């Protein structure tokens, strides 16, 4: 056989491989797991971070303190740090929220000692599409006491006299043109609290207004909160002082600012925007 007459072999065509058909499914896509912040994304908390934040913004705090108050920025910072160390929840708050609360205290001229004001921690949560709540952060809020209201009113030339009325007391309120109150307390042991009142006087010691609240009025304002459960007497006195405080003229910036703070607290609104820009404070510091 002549090799030259053998036909050349050609390559066989490639074998086609059938791919499985892609079928559309009506099933919903798998749920996306909620994003959990990594350790690098979580804000730094604790006493060192809060201390660094407050001392780093010392000049901003000093600039917003009213000249009429005897408040000192260094003393305020030290008192806030001591206050924070007494509550582990405050130690878990973001340093920037503690700074915001300190700026509100400084701008109103109220310290967190002598029961003038408090720092209250509250938990901020977020919800997913299914309504499940997740912890996001602990935040600190400024909370003035009734003594803080009295302090700011005194700087504006007004006095707020807050008193409790108990069983066995003699109480008489003359409204109208007389605008006076007679409160006689027995020397013996007094009974339970039946109401509170607040007398507003101007710099001439003239009675401007008398605000009174009985237990029925206080029950309407009572809330199932830590403050009301732990300090019912303090909250009762503050309730009547807040109503009387509304009668003060708002031409004084401290009186006006504290009135707005109290209004927003009642409406469960943020107050931090009231101090943004007051001490050239625009952006959170790196420790936030």
- pLDDT tens, residue by residue, 233-242: 888 999 999 9
Strand partners, 199: 161, 210
Model pTM? 0.74
Sole residue written with tokens 């009734």: 146
Pseudo-torsion of CA 37, 40, 44, 45, nearest 10°? 50
- 3-state secondary structure (DSSP) of residue 257: helix
Pseudo-torsion of CA 280, 283, 286, 288, nearest 10°? 100
pLDDT tens, position by position, 103-126:
999 999 999 988 899 998 988 887
User: Kind and range of the H or E element at 197?
Assistant: strand 193-201
Q: What is the largest CA-CA distance in the chain?
A: 143
pLDDT on residue 279 = 46
Domain ranges in the chain? Answer: 47-144, 157-247
pLDDT on residue 36 = 54
- Cα distances from 15 to residues 12, 18, 19, 20, in angstroms, run 9, 10, 13, 16
pLDDT tens, position by position, 12-35:
555 666 666 556 556 566 665 555
Measured distance CA(110)–CA(1) in Å, rounded: 117
CB 221 within 8 A of CB 232: no
What is the separation of C-alpha 242 from the centre of its chain, rounded to a whole number of angstroms? Answer: 17
């Amino acid at each position: 056989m002549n090799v030259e007459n053998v036909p050349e072999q050609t390559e066989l065509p490639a074998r086609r491989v059938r791919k499985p058909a892609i079928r559309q499914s009506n099933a919903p896509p798998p749920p996306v797991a909620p994003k959990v912040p990594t350790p690098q994304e979580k804000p730094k908390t604790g006493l060192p971070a809060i201390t660094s934040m407050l001392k780093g913004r010392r000049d901003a705090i000093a600039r917003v303190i009213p000249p009429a108050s005897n408040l000192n920025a260094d003393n305020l910072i030290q008192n806030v740090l001591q206050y924070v160390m007494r509550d582990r929840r405050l130690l878990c708050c973001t340093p920037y929220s503690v700074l915001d609360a300190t700026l509100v205290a400084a701008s109103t001229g109220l310290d967190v000692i002598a029961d003038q004001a408090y720092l209250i921690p509250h938990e901020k949560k977020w919800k997913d599409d299914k309504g499940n709540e997740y912890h996001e952060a602990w935040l600190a809020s400024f909370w003035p006491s009734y003594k803080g209201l009295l302090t700011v009113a005194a700087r504006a030339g007004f006095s707020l006299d807050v008193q409790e009325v108990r069983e066995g007391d003699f109480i008489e309120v003359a409204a109208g043109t007389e605008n006076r109150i007679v409160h006689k307390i027995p020397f013996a042991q007094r009974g339970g609290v039946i109401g509170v009142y607040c007398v507003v006087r101007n710099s001439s010691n003239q009675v401007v207004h008398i605000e009174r609240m009985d237990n029925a009025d206080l029950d309407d304002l009572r809330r199932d909160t830590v403050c009301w459960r732990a300090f019912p007497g303090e909250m009762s006195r503050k309730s009547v002082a807040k109503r009387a405080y509304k009668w003060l003229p708002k031409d004084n910036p401290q009186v006006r600012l504290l009135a707005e703070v109290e209004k927003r607290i009642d409406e469960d609104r943020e107050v931090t925007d009231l101090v943004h820009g007051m001490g050239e404070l625009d952006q959170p510091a790196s420790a936030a």
